[in-house]
Structure 1
């Protein structure tokens, strides 16, 4: 029989927060973040910013519903009151109003380790709204980030380059983004660059390192970018140095792609171990 005296004391583990959207099929977004946090030994929590559901009746296009800014603020208020955040990841924010709300909280709370996965294209929005969102993210959230994980398109946008066609271009872009933001950069080339390897570039102002693994197919897998950024966040929460976190995250997402989840949707999803 268990008695009050025999109950094991609560044990604290590093806390990782994802401020991100819900993706209904479970492959990306906050769902991928939580699975990654759990797999890497952190206590994961989320503040949902939007609900994204693919529409199987319309070529699996995005249906995007933002969460009210006050509801986002309420989630964050409860979370920061309950825990000391060891690391925070920013995923899809989706609207200028959401970005303003999240940026205000981040300026107030000042988390020590802030990872930005800069979702610059919010599918399901009108082009003008998407541009306003992108501008707000660059102006209000990017300056707060200590670590940035842009994908191929986002790396082009943040660096201002016309194109990124090879490893040298990716390294140049990562350097430019660091110089503009001051953040550690893990620029994701993934399967979008020619060659047998999925290539990402790490740059922190001193060390430039190319991270490469053999490609697993030639198509992007849903949730790979979210998982990579979440893995970086979890490792930073545990005390890893940025380069160590990037290496671990690269290995973790590669294995998640290798064991990817099939579905009746026109894409496969990462599956975290």
Structure 2
């Protein structure tokens, strides 16, 4: 679409943390939006640092600053129907966001409930209270959510998920919280030679499978997956098509991953251009 000789593209927003390694967080989201030819905006919730490959420190942005960032964006003339939400970074920010999402019913929220880190095995502080807010206050107002296996087990109040049947059970329990669409990211934690993700819409289960990749350059894969789904939804794809395309996008991003630490590397969204 052109207006006065200018090519207009669709706009999209991410509310997420900053990953100082550059692999995940809003950095990954904005790179993903760019690859889908969308104009990305961001509101930063926290700053995350990783040292010695496993020590995670999270520095939350104050809620009043987060609120002002979003006022700047939502008070503009920009249309932002789809909003991807990643790590909120603190119980205070989660509490604030639980009110924000209820006050904006016209937005479609894609929630990546980041309270565990697959690269380090760490959890957000206040995990129990944070999970409760997602269950009771956030997911009932959510269009689509993308928990990993650890997050799905916490949201569904189940032991760690180790099979596809357990993924189905967890997806059904999460859907019953009120979210319209559930995607559980199996990744490489499931046994077998395939990376398996599950989609449930309240009626049908659909598995998405691709061969596992033998690499440690996976930092940002979850963020990229959720933001790619959001991008495709903004382009009017159905959830099932958006998930399929996003999985293939992440697969290529992992294949083109870039080194950082010896044990942790970052996915590279630009690998999809070739």
Q: TM-score, normalised by structure 1?
A: 0.90
Tell me how large the CA RMSD over aligned residues is. Answer: 2.0
- Does 2:115 correspond to 1:120? yes
Q: Which residue of 1 aligns with 2:71?
A: 77
1:1-273 matches, within 5 Å, as 9-56=5-52, 59-82=53-76, 83-121=78-116, 123=122, 126=125, 129-217=126-214, 221-273=218-270
Larger radius of gyration: 1
Residue 218 of structure 1 and its aligned partner are, at CA, apart by 6.6
Superimposed CA distance per residue, residues 191-236 of structure 1 (whole angstroms, 9 cap, x where no aligned partner): 0000010000011112311100000017571111100000011111
The whole-number CA distance in structure 2 between the counterparts of 1:92 and 1:258 is 24
Q: TM-score, normalised by structure 2?
A: 0.89
Residue 237 of structure 1 and its aligned partner are, at CA, apart by 0.9
Query: Number of matched residues?
Result: 263
- Would the aligned equivalents of 1:62 and 1:124 in 2 still touch at CA under 8 Å? no
The whole-number CA distance in structure 1 between the counterparts of 2:99 and 2:176 is 24
Seen in structure 2, the aligned counterparts of structure 1 residues 146 and 39 have a Cα distance that, compared at 3 Å, is same
Structure 1 residue runs without a partner (length 5+): 1-6
Residue 256 of structure 1 and its aligned partner are, at CA, apart by 0.5
Superimposed CA distance per residue, residues 141-185 of structure 1 (whole angstroms, 9 cap, x where no aligned partner): 222111010101011111222232122221222122112323201
SS in 2 for 1:190: coil
SS in 2 for 1:54: strand
